[in-house]
Amino acid sequence: MAYLTTTASGQPVLVLKEGTTRNRGREAQRNNIMAARVIGEVLRTTLGPRGMDKMLIDSLGDITITNDGAAILNEIEVEHPAAKMMVEIAKTQDDMVGDGTTTAVVLAGELLKKAEELLDQNIHPTIIVSGYRKAAQKAMETINNIAIEVDIDDRATLKKVAVTSMASKAVGPAKDHLADIAIDAVRKVAEKRGDKWVADIDNVQVTKKTGKSLFESQLIQGLVIDKEVVHTGMPKNVERAKIALIDSALEIEKTEISAEIRIRDPNQMKAFLDQENKMLQEMVEKIKASGANVVFCQKGIDDMAQHFLAKEGIMAARRVKQSDMEKLARATGGRIVSNLTDLRAQDLGVAGLVEERKLGEDKMIFVEKCKDPRSVAIIIRAGLERMVDEAERAMTDALSVVSDVIENNKIVAGGGAVEVEVAKELRNYATDVGGREQLAIESFADAIEIIPKTLAENAGLEPIDILVELRASHGKPDGQYKGVNLFTGKVENMRDKGVVEPVIVKEQAIKSATESATMIIRIDDVIASTKPKE
Reported as a single tens digit per residue, the pLDDT across 21-77 is: 666 777 777 888 888 888 888 888 988 888 888 898 888 888 888 888 888 888 888
Pick the catalytic residue from 66, 102, 142, 396. 102
Cβ contact 369:222 at 8 Å:
yes
Residue 68 catalytic?
yes
Q: Which of 326, 331, 368, 99 is nearest to 219 (CA)?
A: 368
Phi, psi angle pair for 408, to nearest 5°: -135, 95
Residue 101 catalytic?
yes
C-alpha–C-alpha distance, residues 167 and 171, integer Å? 8
C-alpha–C-alpha distance, residues 502 and 414, integer Å? 9
C-alpha–C-alpha distance, residues 449 and 471, integer Å? 10
Start-to-end C-alpha separation, the chain? 19
Task: Show Cβ contacts of residue 39 under 8 Å, excluding neighbours closer than 6 positions.
Answer: 73, 78, 83, 86, 87, 105, 109
pTM: 0.82
Angle between the 101-120 and 503-521 helix axes, to the nearest 10 degrees?
40
Rounded mean pLDDT of 9-14? Answer: 65
Q: What angle do CA 5, 6, 10 make, to 5 degrees?
A: 160
Q: Which of 296, 370, 290, 283 is nearest to 336 (CA)?
A: 296
Cβ contact 243:294 at 8 Å:
yes
Confidence band, pLDDT 50/70/90 cuts, at residue 434: confident
> pLDDT digit string (tens) for 102-143?
899 999 999 999 999 998 898 888 999 999 999 999 999 999
Pick the catalytic residue from 101, 157, 396, 454. 101
C-alpha–C-alpha distance, residues 370 and 381, integer Å? 22
Cβ contact 208:425 at 8 Å:
no
Torsion from C-alpha of 68, 70, 76, 78, nearest 10 degrees = 140
Task: Show Cβ contacts of residue 73 under 8 Å, excluding neighbours closer than 6 positions.
Answer: 39, 43, 86, 87, 90, 91, 101, 105
Q: Check residues 269 and 173 and name the one with the higher pLDDT.
A: 173
Q: Which of 351, 315, 320, 352 is nearest to 336 (CA)?
A: 320
Pick the catalytic residue from 347, 397, 404, 514. 397
Angle between the 125-146 and 417-433 helix axes, to the nearest 10 degrees?
130
What's CA 240's distance to the chain center, in Å?
A: 35
Q: Which of 377, 389, 509, 403 is nearest to 71 (CA)?
A: 389
Residue 341 catalytic?
no
Q: Please tell me the predicted confidence (pLDDT) of residue 3.
A: 54
> pLDDT digit string (tens) for 279-326?
888 888 888 888 888 999 998 888 888 888 888 899 999 999 898 899
What's CA 530's distance to the chain center, in Å?
A: 35
Pick the catalytic residue from 68, 94, 302, 324. 68
Residue 126 catalytic?
no
Residue 2, pLDDT above cutoff 60 = no
